[in-house]
Amino acid sequence: LVSCTKRTKTPKSELAVCRYVLLLAELEAHQDAWPFLRPVKLKSVPGYKKIIKKPMDFFTIKEKLINNMYLNQENFVIDVNLVFDNCQKFNEDDSEIGRAGHRMKRFFDKRWTELLH
Ligand SMILES: Cn1cc(C(=O)NCCCNC(=O)c2ccc(F)cc2)ccc1=O
């Protein structure tokens, strides 16, 4: 009889983690990813610390992935969307970083949908 205790992660969640790692690698490789690759330097970007309550970036997401901190897929998507929501909040749509954020969000939404089907 196969033991029913969950000694290891269920294969489903391992597949999900692979999907996140793949998708994150694609986000980081995107030509418009440069504003989002590392945490925004709060000392060198005036106003950012006050305006953005929950900073997030692709490097931080990768660390959370590696430390297995995304127990379900929602939290992964929530953090990725936080990167783009912060960007829209802090930057004019018609700015270098604002436009990069919109392009990255469109790219993510498309790939996320494709990977789910
Ligand atoms: C998302 N966001 C980012 C900034 C920001 O100033 N971000 C750093 C830009 C400079 N960073 C680079 O140019 C860079 C970073 C890593 C790399 F691998 C290559 C280039 C300001 C407001 C904001 O809302």
Q: Give the N- to C-terminal CA distance of the chain in Å, as an integer.
A: 34
d(CA 34, ligand 1 centre) in Å = 6
Both tokens of 97, joined, read 């970083």
Q: Name the pTM for this structure.
A: 0.88
Q: Whose CA is nearest to atom 8 of ligand 1?
A: 35
CA distances from 95 to 87, 99, 106, 109 (A): 11, 6, 17, 21
Closest atom of ligand 1 to CA, residue 37: 16
Low-confidence ranges of the chain (pLDDT < 50): 1-5
Would you state the pLDDT for residue 68? 81
Mutate to test the pocket of ligand 1, among 27, 30, 38 (most ligand atoms within 8 A of CB): 38
